Structure 1
């Protein structure tokens, strides 16, 4: 099995608000991965004395632990409990009712010998590659359905945050876990998985340098660091031309690549 992970901050002036980790059980059977993209609050605060990196590390650590230790618990239930645990850790010191209370997008994947279970909440991306090379993108596209001119307004965006008709992120309300995109795929139908925050998925969904299958092949050949390096070069070139309308020129970028094939499987192309 092969696992690679890279996470790079958008700028040196701000801490990386992404969080990513993998866990493999001592038995060697199965595993889990979790990737979070912390939501950078606009100026004006978020009601929390800790900040987004504190939140993503607590939420990510809880979710990874539960996904491995409670394999009988569906990922949506594990996310709900992780949100509750994290909220309990700072509800006495912070205003969790604040609309911009620390929050994050979520990708979680858990696999064993029989199945691959997944969860996606908000605009991070999960790719599932089949043995024949077909790549399926699991996306929560609710944020993409909101017109860009609406998202340019902070007040309008806040009015849609974790609301019906808007979009959902993991914040302080455990009930949001039920809004995640979830599913299960037979283990034999998945040979590799990729989790990307939107700072890394830009190679495909913003700059259109290739399809999701092309991105998967790029990761196989150059690894997550190679992908992030290419994204940074595209961002720099785009900024020199005047650029797309984006929240940031460079965003925190995280990519996790995991090959799940058994030793008896045929080798993956390029591996």
Structure 2
């Protein structure tokens, strides 16, 4: 088995709000990965005393432990329990009903000798490669499908589409959001390798159009996750007129996890 994990902040002066983990049980028969992209709030109140990195560390740690130790539970139930556990850690001190309470996108994959299970919530990505080289992207594209007018201001997003029906969902403080995640199961024999990426890394495909998802997967497999992040950073620096980046931040936290089964 080959595993690689690379994560770096968009700004070296700020903490990385992403979280990534790999777990390989001692049985040798399976494993799991967890990738979170913490949502950077706008300036102003969030109702919470804690930082986004505090939240992603708590939620990511709970997801990792539960995914490995509760292999009989579906991933949606595991996400629900992890959100509840994290909420309980700060509900007495924070207003968890605030629309900008700390939150994150989620990718979880778990494999055994029989199957590969996956869960995606919001705009991080999971790519599965079959033995014949076919790459299948598993995405939660609800945010991407919203009209630009719905995302015009932070206040409008919070009032109308963030964690609301007809909008998009992230893991915050409500455990029922786990039922909104994109989930599925693929026979283990149909998966040769997998890659999880936060949207700071998916810029290679989604903003800079360097290739499609198959090209992205091939790049990671051949050159490695760090090479992909290095290329994204170079493209960001070169986009001085913001032809590709538009209103997006110049550099975003970026994470890539690659696993060959």
TM-score clears 0.5: yes
The DSSP-based 3-state class of the residue aligned with 2:240 is: helix
Q: What is the deviation of 1:242?
A: 5.4
SS of structure 2 residue aligned to 1:216: helix
Task: Please tell me whether residue 26 in structure 1 is matched to residue 26 in structure 2.
Answer: yes
Query: Matched residues in 1 for 2:69 and 2:259: separation?
Result: 20
Aligned in 2, Cα 1:155/1:200: closer, same or farther, shift over 3 Å? same
Is the counterpart of residue 97 in structure 1 residue 97 in structure 2?
A: yes
Q: Secondary structure at the match of 1:109?
A: strand
**Structure-2 separation of matches of 1:251 and 1:153:** 19
* Matched residue, 2:224: 223
- Counterpart residue number, 1:161: 162
CA contact (8 A) 1:104 1:169 kept: yes
Report what 2:56 is aligned to. Answer: 56
| Aligned counterpart, 2:124 | 124
**CA positional deviation for 1:32:** 0.4
Tell me the alpha carbon deviations over residues 197-249 of structure 1, each in whole angstroms, 9 at most, x when there is no partner: 00001101111101111111111111111100000001111135655313311
Q: CA deviation at 1:147?
A: 1.6
1:81 partner SS: helix
SS in 2 for 1:132: coil
Q: Deviations over 1:37-58 (max 9, x none)?
A: 0000000121111110000000
Supply the distance in 2 between the matched residues of 1:255 and 1:241 (Cα, whole angstroms): 24
- 1:12 alignment partner in structure 2: 12
C-alpha RMSD over aligned residues: 1.0
Q: How many residues align?
A: 260
CA distance in 1, matches of 2:7, 2:113: 28
Unaligned 5+ segments in structure 1 are 261-271
The TM-score, its normalising length taken from structure 1, stands at 0.94
| 8 A contact 1:239–1:249 mirrored in 2 | no
In structure 2, C-alpha distance between the alignment counterparts of 1:235 and 1:161, rounded to whole Å = 27
User: Gaps (5+ residues) in structure 2?
Assistant: none
Relative distance call for 1:241 and 1:111 in structure 2 (3 A) is closer
Distance 1:154 1:165 in 2: 17
**Distance in 2, Cα, partners of 1:222 & 1:151:** 35
| Aligned mates of 1:27, 1:88 — CA distance in 2 | 32
